[in-house]
Chain A
């Protein structure tokens, strides 16, 4: 940033005179030459430098505003779109799995099925249907997620029809009812739930992308800001050498404003990034694992019920119980209990301290209770006492069944989920607003800085007249 300042300072009139002696030149080549000659003169050069600075500042302001605006939009998508969609997808999965489990409970109780259980099944189907419709409206056509939604929307009424046939046959006392229910459950477990799982994965992927876009540092704007600061500094050094005046108020003001915007960008970006990360680690990510724990628990419950529905016609449900509970609570160890390290333990690890952590701790105890009750029921079944196994699994208004232990566990998991959702909302609530303020502020301030440059350079130019 040094220049031949001594010579330039002594000969301003010559430049003006040269330009004046050549009027009326009209073609572009001559004009360019004229411009080059004008740039050769100190005021001409100063004017060009001023124009370049203004352009740089406006570019900086525009880039900062655009990048902040994009992040605001991405944050809005996370908070208002992809996180709710991801949550809805998990809820669709949960409702479907819950419907399957509840249908089997009602089937086992047959004529004794309480109205509440029937309502729960119907609510599950209604919730799944409603969320599928909502998700369909908010999901891009022809996307992977949309295909899954279409499939599920088609299969849901088929499933409901099969379950009703099973119930009707069962009430007539026909063993065919059990075969129907197992067929319906096969459709749910082998076709619908995997589709719902793919939907969850697709929505989670979108959430990840939006999180990344929302939390990224505005690198281009920061680099432009630093370049603008350097250029402003260089110009002030030049002017100081030429005029011996230490401060050019316009340029100083412009530098201060640019510095402020750069700091705002850096600090604001970092804070937003941190908030999003906190929302993700404290909310979105734990919610995802928690959702998985809830659905695995539901699948284990369904397997437990269907094993009784099958009445020995199949041993696949016992095997499924082993697999799913192994994933949920860890492999069983000889002599009772489990090795731990399953989905439930991971959900507890990820849970933010406080409410959610406490709930998950409690859920772990309920799972152990359920597990041991299941073993007792299975022992009754093996001993040929089907009625005892049934009573230990589902019974009207009893809190000593495996179903009661599972329900207590599910309530804890649901409460933990609410706590984590609240945490997510709290962490991410100000982020989009911050980005929006940043976008508007950067634009306005960059214009102000440009005005400072115009004023500062203008003062110097006036001195040549």
Chain B
């Protein structure tokens, strides 16, 4: 919860073109893979999720269940690996701890609006992309802002710690007067409602989730960069990566992806899923 003057932020991440974020292991289902055997032995797929991303991964206070687009995907993977979509253990992981949770084996995989970046590919493996997104800006409708440049210039921005958005604003502060770094992107919406920040930069998916919870804010159409969300897996589990890629191929071909989109995302992101299909 510390305000960092934009001028003081040094570029920490250099944009790297030396990797292909859409590339992953070829789809395959190998029942003898070490990771698959371990999961089957345990009888439960441990999935790192978020409980606070509305319509993506969140605990519905009326049902007590974790639900959303990411959660549907996790159930599909559990159904494929273990034959039962409910054989799943959800473990909530803060944004800043996603990489660590995968590396130290706390979770088998993460479906948590996680974008694939070259930086992250150094630490973890990713499935093929399952959603196309970008960094988008949320501003109060009352601000009457229409362009990205105007959303940042001279305004107080808010980003989640250790997120792609934080890295983006560190690389290029875009004339922001201050950048507030918070633990969860949703804290930005609280601060925006209370008038403590003027603009929030976050993944397009989460930006839509914010707008879904507060009709007085809007997501600007213009996206900052093209990005893809993928399922993060430990680098030492190539068999699981291949299996997940197989599930994703079937999920899209079988219409599961489209049904999930229609249920969770269409109301706020538009009836057509085409812009978001990788």
Contacts and interface: CB of A to CB of B under 8 A. Distances in A.
Interface in B1-56: 1, 46, 50-54
A183 B184 contact: no
- Chain B interface residue number, banded: 20 to 34
A23 interface: no
Interface stretch (A24-32, A228-236, A308-316): A308-316
Given A173-B61, A175-B58, A176-B214, A314 B190 contact: no
B165 to A, nearest CB: 16
Contacts of A314: 94, 183-184
Nearest to A316: B183
- Chain A interface residue number, banded: 20 to 34
A227 B97 CA distance: 79
A175 B92 contact: no
Contacts of B66: 386
B187 A384 contact: no
Contacts of B214: 176
B270 to A, nearest CB: 21
Contacts of B162: none
Contact of A386 (B92, B93, B97, B183): B92
Interface string B106-136: 0000000000000000000000000000000
B157 to A, nearest CB: 17
Given A183-B187, A312-B92, A386-B92, A173 B51 contact: no
B90 interface: yes
Interface string A370-404: 00000000000011111100000000000000000
Most buried by A among B62, B184, B190: B190
B229 interface: no
A110 B93 CA distance: 23
B189 interface: yes
Contacts of A183: 187, 190-191, 194
Given A111-B62, A313-B186, A384 B89 contact: yes
B52 A110 contact: no
Interface of B: 1, 46, 50-54, 58-62, 64, 66, 89-95, 97, 183-184, 186-187, 189-191, 194, 213-214
21 contacts: A110-B61, A170-B61, A173-B61, A173-B62, A175-B51, A176-B54, A177-B61, A178-B52, A179-B184, A179-B186, A183-B187, A183-B191, A311-B51, A311-B52, A311-B59, A312-B92, A313-B184, A314-B94, A315-B94, A385-B89, A386-B66
Given A173-B61, A183-B190, A384-B90, 17 more contacts: A111-B61, A111-B62, A170-B61, A171-B61, A173-B60, A174-B54, A175-B52, A175-B58, A175-B186, A176-B214, A177-B61, A180-B190, A183-B187, A311-B52, A312-B91, A312-B94, A382-B91
The 6 A-B residue pairs with the shortest CB-CB distance, nearest first, are A312-B92, A311-B51, A384-B89, A313-B184, A179-B186, A175-B52
Interface of A: 110-111, 169-171, 173-180, 182-183, 186, 311-316, 382-387
